[in-house]
Amino acid sequence: MKHLAWIAILVSLPVLGQNATVFNQSDVLFVADDAEMHVFGDIITSGSTSVLENEGFIQTYDDVTPGNFELQNIGIVLSKGDFKIENDWVNNGVLAISEGMVEMYGANQWFLGDSISRFWNLQLTGLDRKEQGQDIRVRSVLDLTSRELAVHAQTLYVDSSDVNAIIYDPTFNVEGMISTDEDGFIKKYILQNQVNLIPTGSIQGAFRHRPIKILMTSSDASDTAIVTFHHHSPNLTNAPEADMDTSLCKIQNRYFYTFNSANPSNRYQLDFAHYPPADGYYPDVAQWNTPTWRMVYDHGEYNGPNYSYVSAFDESDFINEHYTLAYRTPAAPYILHDSTECYDIADYQIEMPLGQPWYQWTVSNDDGSASVTSGQGTDLATIDWAGTIGGWVYAQYTDTAGCWSHFDSAHVIDVSVTADFYFTNDYSQGTSTNFTFVNQSSSNTDEAIWFMDNQVDYLYYPNITLPYFHNFSTNGEEATYEIILVANEFEHGCTDTAIRIITVPAIFVFYAPNTFTPDGDGFNETFFGYATDIKWIELQIFNRWGELIFSGADFKAESVVWDGKFQGQTVQTGTYTYKFTVWPNNYNNGEKSAFEYAGHVSLLK
* Residue-level pLDDT at 15: 44
Contact 420, 498 (CB under 8 A): yes
Fold held by 421-504 = Immunoglobulin-like (2.60.40)
Chain-centre distance of CA 465, in angstroms? 48
* pLDDT, mean of residues 159-187: 96
Fold held by 169-329 = Chondroitinase Ac; Chain A, domain 3 (2.60.220)
Choosing among 2.60.40.1220, 2.30.30.90, 3.40.1280.10, 3.10.290.10, the CATH entry for 510-603 is: 2.60.40.1220
Query: Using the 8-state DSSP alphabet, how is residue 340 labeled?
Result: E
Question: Closest Cα to residue 445, out of 430, 432, 458?
Answer: 458
Q: What is the pLDDT of residues 408-431, one digit of tens each?
A: 999 999 999 999 999 987 655 555
User: Prior bond to 462 cis, omega within 30?
Assistant: yes
Q: State how far the alpha carbon of 344 is from the alpha carbons of 200, 275, 496, in Å.
A: 61, 52, 11
**Distance (Å, rounded) from C-alpha 544 to C-alpha 574?**
9
**Coil/strand/helix, residue 235:** helix
Q: How do strand 391-398 and strand 358-365 relate by DSSP bridges? A: antiparallel
Is pLDDT above 50 for 8? no
* Residue-level pLDDT at 476: 59
Which amino acid belongs to residue 156? L
**Distance (Å, rounded) from C-alpha 462 to C-alpha 446?**
8
Question: Closest Cα to residue 108, out of 132, 90, 91, 84?
Answer: 132
Is residue 433 very low, low, confident or very high in pLDDT (cuts 50, 70, 90)?
confident
Looking at every residue in the chain, the average pLDDT score rounds to: 91
Determine what percent of the chain is predicted with pLDDT higher than 70: 93
Q: What is the pLDDT of residues 322-350, one digit of tens each?
A: 999 999 999 999 999 889 999 999 999 99
* Residue-level pLDDT at 407: 96
Q: What is the pLDDT of residues 542-554, one digit of tens each?
A: 999 999 999 999 9
Alpha carbons within 13 angstroms on the beta-carbon side of residue 20 total: 17
